[in-house]
Amino acid sequence: MDQTQILQFVNHGAMAKALFDYRSAILHARSILLLSPSLDDYRFVRKIFPGSSIGACFESDWNLDEPPPTNFIGFDLVLAFNVLMYSRDPSKWIENILKITKNFVFQDVKYRKRSEVAPYLGSDGDETRYALKSGNYQQPTFPLSDLPNEPTVYFEYAGIPNQCHTDIDLPIHVCAAIHADKGCIANKLSRSKNFVFFSRYSFFVSFAVHTLRRKVKKYC
């Protein structure tokens, strides 16, 4: 098992704990949307929700800086793994996500160096770190307490260090669950028109299309 696999194992374990802590709200989640997931993310979620319909959404499907597309439907649960770190406007992203669900659970980073130069962000669009409260942080950090809906579940855990960290300078990751009683327009969005999106194979269709788009872009 290489470092990436170990980190993914740890992150999935943390997400499992967050979902368990938040289980009263999502116990009967029938429709689930994954934001920019990997195939392993899907397999992990499928084990926890074996009877649910699981769909995938990638950046080419929805720019989170914008409101959800008009053909989107409501979801019982939206999950994200290391997605919000790419946001320049976290409050806007989360606001838009909560327009299609009342239950958003995500795993991300509070402190993680991905380069050798301050503020130690990655070169792939890496923008933001997350904490519960505001503070004096080494990296650009968004305090989740600034949201209209503060996290129902929040905890931090040690990440797996990369080459930019040392044994005395460990990365810190976070998991959070946000519940919105108001503002969700999911009940106003069409379900029947897009029911095919929730077939058991919808994830694989979305993932295949996303992979093909990346390959086409790579060779253009």
Specify the pLDDT at position 29: 95
Say if residues 14 and 157 touch (Cβ distance below 8 Å).
Answer: yes
pLDDT of 202 higher than 70: no
pLDDT of 195 higher than 70: no
Specify the pLDDT at position 4: 80
Instruction: Name the residue type at position 177.
Output: A
Tokens of 32: 């689930």
User: What's the rounded mean pLDDT across residues 166-192?
Assistant: 76
**Which pTM was predicted?**
0.86
Residue 176 pairs in a beta bridge with 106, 154
Q: pLDDT tens digits for 75-93? A: 999 999 999 999 999 999 9
CATH of the domain at 69: 3.40.50
Specify the pLDDT at position 193: 40
User: Which single residue is written with the structure tokens 């060779």?
Assistant: 219
147 burial via Cβ count (<10 Å: 0-12, 13-18, 19+): middle
CA–CA distance, 154 with 139 (Å, rounded to integer): 19
Q: What is the CA radius of gyration of the chain?
A: 17
Specify the pLDDT at position 84: 98
* Phi and psi at residue 142, to the nearest 5°: -100, 125
Number of domains in the chain: 1
Say if residues 21 and 177 touch (Cβ distance below 8 Å).
Answer: yes
Residue 190: which domain range? 3-219
